[in-house]
Chain A
Amino acid sequence: MSSTPTDTKGKDRARAAARARAQRAPVYRRSADFRWTHDPEQCARCKRCVQQCGFKALSWEDGPVVDPEKCVGCHRCEMFCPQQAIAVVPQVQHYRPHPLWTQAHRQNLYLQAETGGVLLAGMGNDLPYPVLWDNLLLDACQVTNPSIDPLREPMELRTYLGRRPDAVEVTLGGDGPELATEMGPTLELETPIIFAAMSYGSISLNAQKAIAMAAEECGTLWNTGEGGLHEDLKPYAHRAFVQCASGRFGVHADYLNAGAAIEIKIGQGAKPGIGGHLPGEKVSAEVSETRMIPVGSDALSPAPQHDIYSIEDLRQLIYALKEASNYEKPVSVKIAAVHNVAAIASGIVRAGADMVYLDGFRGGTGAAPTIIRDHLGIPIEIAIAVVDQQLREEGIRNQASIIAAGGIRSSADAAKAIALGADAIAIGTGALLALGCTLCQKCYTGRCSWGITTQDPALTRRLDPYVGSRRVGNLLRGWSAELEEILGAMGVNAIESLRGSRERLRGVGLDKTTLDILGVKPAGVGA
């Protein structure tokens, strides 16, 4: 039922195009990843699918016709077809199977033979590396310590981020104990889940607004990313990290002072060692104004921050930003989880950062070279464990909070991250999924059918920020409620009693060395 018998014209055209391509590049015959199928019997001929496809894969010739090469399998058409006449299914491999030369490798190779370019991808690493979350299990109470009923007893998720002294000094006055310690600025969160940095430019204003509103409503934080702060989002800035990345887009004194905290972006899990890439297609007039760059120009952030070639330079930037914000804003430093992450994080804390944001190799991106996305970095599970342990061994764990991100898919992953030692976790991809994303990974094209990673007004207006913020807020509320359930089952009623409590984790199917690095016992070993 791949296409209607009546659309011969369209079919002929597609065939002709394929022939032409084959002649142009005889070696390369690109296969489509998806097979777009359509049942003409069911079709109401409403043309809605053609309108809905952000990727312009469909046209109308007496019925919908697909250009199979353009279809990315985002499922927008399928979901909007009132007759359920469309089914988009993965295309089965048609080369002779080979365990080494997988279809993906061959595909990429052909493409590069044709273009000589660097292949791009969106979203996070999609290779089947082991997911350590799935090898970790959480504990629960039985008999000797009671579980606590989260429906009837208070459960506390409130979390603070930022530098803290090691001890509180208390004096006894006439009215009882008084605080004698000066506390620095910290961030108060109602749940240990924040939003990852996603810039205006990489995502649409509506998407960013939806996330910002949800953050405000749920008492948590969002992150401007490196794209500056759009006028419309100023009302939500007091719940935002304002980011200062290597491109310094949209960074000025007002910007630094508008947010709740400042984040220096050194690296990103999806592309360690590489700066942000915003294709010119996504630089609309409004993006250009917010970023302070010309319309249509590629916004390629430098790979390093050119004023940071070492740790002492980072220290200078941290303090420059603190000076600029009158020491009222805590400063976070975001790094990709790489092999030496523990030592780097310790240096960052000693350089004066109040938070270290660790982004694991599975973290998402709007656009990254596929080869970088898929092969650099280390898992966030490992990074949390080694950083937390290192900071504790050095006695500086109180001086900075750890934020962990990069492939956290559920409240269970979040709970495990916190048990390993994270103060809070950040979600990016998860929030986009809540907005409708189907993970087609084509964000870098700027054609997102869901109006998320695009600047085309015809597409962005599909995303109602109010509806979006309700959905993203629901996600936070749902995960928070689940975290409370997990705490209750473990017999604790405050998130700080889970934080860093690796005793409540057990490993299954993990080797001894990995268990040791995670600081987790294998299942079967008791208290």
Chain B
Amino acid sequence: MSEEVFDRGRRTISGCGLSGMMSLTGERVDGRAIRASIALLHERSNGLGGGFAAYGIYPERRDHFALHIMYDTDEARRRTESALEDDFDVAQDERIPTRPHPGIVNPPSLMRYFVLPRASRLEEDGATAEDYVLARVMRVNAEISDAFVFSSGKNMGAFKAVGYAEDIAAFFRLDEYEAYIWIAHGRFPTNTPGWWAGAHPFTLLDWAVVHNGEISSYGINRRYLEMFNYQCTMRTDTEVMAYLLDLLIRRHELPVEVACDVLAAPFWEQIERMPEERRRLYSALRQVYGGALVNGPFAIIFARHGEMVGLNDRIKLRPLVAARKDSWLYLSSEESGIRAMCARPDLVWAPRAGQPVIGRLGSEVVAGEPAHGGRIAVGQEATSE
């Protein structure tokens, strides 16, 4: 067997803590609350990786793609920047501001660039701006060793490192950014010592995913994605999640709810009880997307502009709790993680296996929120009006 085959398959297995918060009205807050939440989940990680994604943080540069790039060598930086110069109009480049922290050792050089695709090249390519950026990001990550683009969306950014998540927040000075969606991740890998690029969140354009779990169906999910030209090189299950979401939602244009029902497919028994039309749809989904069914324990939070989603595997083998307070939606691995963001939520509930919780900007209704009367209130008097 070629080295390559070994390498491609070897991946990090990890348990984790997750948190997320979203203002459904677009109100922005700084990173202190999310940091408090993931700090409280300290025991769920082991200091080998963590990170955050924040939406709405670059309002002055809202139309530019914000590339966050880490470099291990000057050579990598030189090569990457010359590639960027060729393909993009770079409006601004700067070091990502950091504050030294004893918990964060040997940081790579961290840069960010606000860019627009070079118009002439984009036209030549005939691709959408998104695909154009995605292709270049993938190329840098695959071809320039020691350079890694870890965030590439507009008006959003990912911040990740090896260390405990709360230390990472301090290091990246997240108290100085304001966002309407924050998601966070603290990692507990069982093997390979953490690797900066391999920390979560995993991002793709403005998508960010944090994930707790080990995908038991990794082998087939990876081979399935290869058919659609995704090469899983990151050695993390989260990468598989992110690519599946990209394939289903961006490329196959499935509604988010339906994409979630592909990842955590309803059982045939449930499908059989659906009304005829529904049954046909779900039967088709399972027949076509068997390779995209993510089996084994997982809880994920993923976000893009205007949307934050929490999802469990089909039999809920990893924890996920949701809560509402006014126009805020909270998600976390534990209820305590929610109460660290919001001491007195109006409603706390445990989302059911495979049923997504979806918060959307501008909509007060959260998909997956238990209907009135069916609420699962945990130690909270304010739940019954």
Contact = CB atoms under 8 A, between A and B. Distances in A.
A-B complex is real: yes
Interface of A: 141, 143-146, 148, 153-154, 156, 158, 160, 164-170, 172, 175-179, 181, 183, 186, 392, 395, 397-398, 490-494, 496-504, 512, 515-516, 519, 521-522, 525-527
A293 to B, nearest CB: 40
B5 A527 contact: no
Contacts of A141: 216
Given A491-B216, A501-B217, 6 more contacts: A145-B317, A168-B288, A176-B257, A179-B277, A491-B295, A496-B220
Interface string B344-372: 00000000000000000000000000000
Nearest to B262: A168
B289 interface: yes
B214 interface: yes
Contacts of A525: 6, 10
B281 A492 contact: no
A390 B174 CA distance: 48
Contacts of B191: 526
A145 B296 contact: yes
Given A397-B227, A526-B10, A497 B217 contact: yes
B284 A492 contact: no
A496 B10 contact: no
Contact of A492 (B255, B285, B288, B296): B296
Contact of A497 (B6, B10, B293): B293
B273 interface: no
14 contacts: A141-B216, A145-B13, A146-B297, A148-B315, A164-B287, A170-B254, A170-B258, A176-B278, A493-B295, A493-B314, A499-B290, A500-B223, A516-B5, A525-B6
Nearest to B277: A178
Interface in B210-259: 213-220, 222-224, 226-228, 251-255, 257-258
A179 B213 CA distance: 31
B234 to A, nearest CB: 13
Interface centre among A168, A504, A522 (most CB of B within 10 A): A168
B291 interface: yes
Contacts of B284: 168, 179, 181, 183
Closest 4 CB pairs of A and B: A503-B219, A496-B290, A501-B219, A497-B295
B384 interface: no
Contact of A512 (B1, B228, B267, B314): B1
A178 B214 contact: no
A143 B297 CA distance: 11
A170 B253 CA distance: 8
B258 A177 contact: yes
A177 B253 CA distance: 12
Given A168-B284, A186-B287, A527-B9, A154 B216 contact: no
Nearest to B11: A527
A252 B15 CA distance: 60
A181 B253 CA distance: 13
Contacts, number: 142
B226 A521 contact: no
A494 B220 CA distance: 12
A141 B295 CA distance: 12
Interface in B171-208: 190-191
A169 B253 CA distance: 8
Nearest to B257: A177
Interface of A is mostly: loop
Contact of B219 (A164, A166, A504): A504
B255 A521 contact: no
A497 B285 contact: no
Contacts of A146: 297, 317
B133 interface: no
Given A496-B290, A521-B5, A527 B295 contact: no
A459 to B, nearest CB: 42
Contacts of B253: 169-170
Nearest to B259: A170
Interface of B: 1-2, 5-6, 9-11, 13-15, 190-191, 213-220, 222-224, 226-228, 251-255, 257-258, 265, 267-269, 277-278, 280-281, 284-291, 293, 295-297, 314-315, 317
A170 B1 contact: no
A167 B295 contact: no
Contacts of B269: 154
Contacts of B6: 521, 525
Contact of A515 (B1, B265, B280, B317): B1
Nearest to A502: B219
A178 B277 CA distance: 7
Contacts of A153: 315
Given A397-B227, A503-B9, A168 B285 contact: yes
Contacts of A494: 265, 290, 293, 295
A212 B37 CA distance: 61
B220 A170 contact: no
A238 to B, nearest CB: 19
B287 A170 contact: no
Contacts of B219: 500-504
B255 A177 contact: yes
Contacts of A176: 257, 278
Given A168-B254, A521-B6, A497 B216 contact: yes
B288 A167 contact: yes
Contact of A503 (B218, B224, B226, B277): B218
Contacts of B281: 168, 170, 177-179
B268 A145 contact: no
A179 B255 CA distance: 12
A424 to B, nearest CB: 13
A145 B317 CA distance: 9
Contacts of A519: 5
A178 B258 CA distance: 10
A166 B267 contact: no
B217 A170 contact: no
A496 B5 contact: no
Contacts of A144: 13-15, 190, 214
B46 to A, nearest CB: 13
Given A170-B258, A503-B218, A521-B5, A496 B291 contact: yes
A168 B281 CA distance: 9
A44 to B, nearest CB: 55
A135 to B, nearest CB: 14
Contacts of B216: 141, 145, 490-492, 497
A88 to B, nearest CB: 47
Contacts of A178: 277, 281
B250 to A, nearest CB: 12
Nearest to B251: A167
A448 B267 CA distance: 45
B299 to A, nearest CB: 13
B265 A395 contact: no
A527 B251 CA distance: 29
A340 B14 CA distance: 42
B220 A497 contact: yes
Contact of B1 (A160, A503, A521): A521
Contacts of A177: 255, 257-258, 281
A493 B317 CA distance: 12
Contacts of B190: 143-144
Contact of B227 (A164, A395, A521): A395
B214 A145 contact: yes
Nearest to B222: A503
B13 to A, nearest CB: 5
Given A145-B296, A504-B219, A156 B267 contact: yes
A506 to B, nearest CB: 11
B252 A501 contact: no
Of listed B1, B265, B296, B315, residue having the most chain A CB within 10 A: B1
Given A146-B317, A397-B227, A516 B252 contact: no
A384 to B, nearest CB: 13
Contacts of A515: 1
A156 B268 contact: yes
Nearest to B280: A179
